[in-house]
Structure 1
Amino acid sequence: MVLTLYGHPRSTCAQRVAVTLHEKGVPFKFVLVDLVKGEHKHSSYLEEQPFGQFHTSNGFILYERRAIAHYLAEKYADQGTPLIPKDLKAKALFEQAASIEAFNYDPYASHAVFNKIFELE
């Protein structure tokens, strides 16, 4: 079964999910959504994702890049690279680090990357 990932190849959000799929050895097709043209704000996307972001789709609609990555890491835990620890304490430390990254570093880094990359187009 091939999953579908919607996004822009330069989007750090789409890249996070793509890296997770690659590390888990999960086949997927990439559907380009042009951010510059505002395709992610089209009504067909907003029906499934009210924030105008992207989702993976294969009968199960899930949005928000970290939720998608965690879902894939758990669903395909027995294949590819182990991404989330199984030990309770190790998993708690993993979640702690993920929260620090999400709330302290990512907003600034993503903003800087977005501005730098999309000013090229």
Structure 2
Amino acid sequence: MALKVHGSFRSPAVLRVVACLKEKELDYEFVNVNMQTGDHKQPQFLALNPFGQVPAFEDGDLKLFESRAITQYIAHTYVDKGTQLIVPDHKKMAIMSTWMEVEAQKFDPAATKLGFEIVIKPMRGLTTDDAVVAQYEEQLGKILDVYEARLKESKYLGGDCFTLVDLHHIPLINYLMATRVKALFDARPTVSAWVADILARPAWSKVQELLEQK
């Protein structure tokens, strides 16, 4: 099998790649990386991702890392398979790329920080910093205000159809729906409807099935 994903199902970045493969209806091999035992810092894995982070990806002799680069490669290379996650029009693609940057540079840092404070810290026996939570809830709220306005103009963030922009949000949003942060999404009706839409994707349901098996 040419396509290989190296990673852990605990990682939202890995799930981003797996969701993309499910949308494209592509077969792949999943190579589990045990991060608790430090597999991601071993020479064999560092040859795939020199930063020692998951995921890593292989398509034949091509080796990639960084989840969003991987999903873009998959969407462009296998454009004739499954869901069309990119748009052919250059202007529409530029708009889509803008919102992909928004997800990576604005949404992801705030959402990740909240997940760490609210979920990961308690799991590790650490104390949640309420001041940090308040700071990032305010920050995420402002981002979602922009999303609310955008989604009143188009059905999805990148345009009128589901694209990589929306897909890139799914793992972290799914994660946050089980926390108090869900209220930030619920308070914005258009954002809330968008969340319900993207989380109901058949491809994401298949990812969820994989998670239940782990």
The reply to whether TM is greater than 0.5 is yes
- RMSD across aligned positions (CA): 1.8
CA distance in 1, matches of 2:120, 2:17: 18
CA distance in 2, matches of 1:51, 1:84: 28
CA distance in 2, matches of 1:64, 1:44: 17
Larger CA Rg, structure 1 vs 2: 2
> Whose strand fraction is larger, Structure 1's or Structure 2's?
1
Deviation at 1:117, TM superposition (A): 5.5
Q: Kindly provide the CA deviation profile for residues 18-49 of structure 1, in whole angstroms up to 9, marking residues without a partner as x.
A: 01111011101111112222211112111231
- Greater RCO, 1 or 2 (C-alpha within 8 Å, sep 6+): 1
SS of corresponding position for 1:20: helix
Is 1:44 aligned with 2:35? Answer: no
Determine the structure 2 residue equivalent to 1:15.
15
Structure 1 residues 34, 114: closer, same or farther in 2, change over 3 A?
farther
SS of corresponding position for 2:88: coil
**In 2, are the aligned partners of 1:11 and 1:114 still within 8 Å (CA)?**
no
SS of corresponding position for 1:71: helix
| TM-score, with structure 1 as normaliser | 0.89
Determine the structure 2 residue equivalent to 1:79.
81
CA distance in 2, matches of 1:82, 1:111: 31
Structure 1 residues 35, 15: closer, same or farther in 2, change over 3 A?
same
Matches within 5 A, 1:1-121: 1-53=1-53, 54-57=55-58, 58-113=60-115, 116=119, 119=123
Structure 2, unmatched stretches of 5+, are: 125-214
SS of corresponding position for 2:57: strand
CA distance in 1, matches of 2:110, 2:7: 20
SS of corresponding position for 1:6: strand
> Whose helix fraction is larger, Structure 1's or Structure 2's?
2
Structure 1, unmatched stretches of 5+, are: none
CA distance in 2, matches of 1:117, 1:85: 37
| TM-score, with structure 2 as normaliser | 0.52
Over the matched positions of the two proteins, sequence identity in percent amounts to 37
CA distance in 2, matches of 1:113, 1:36: 19
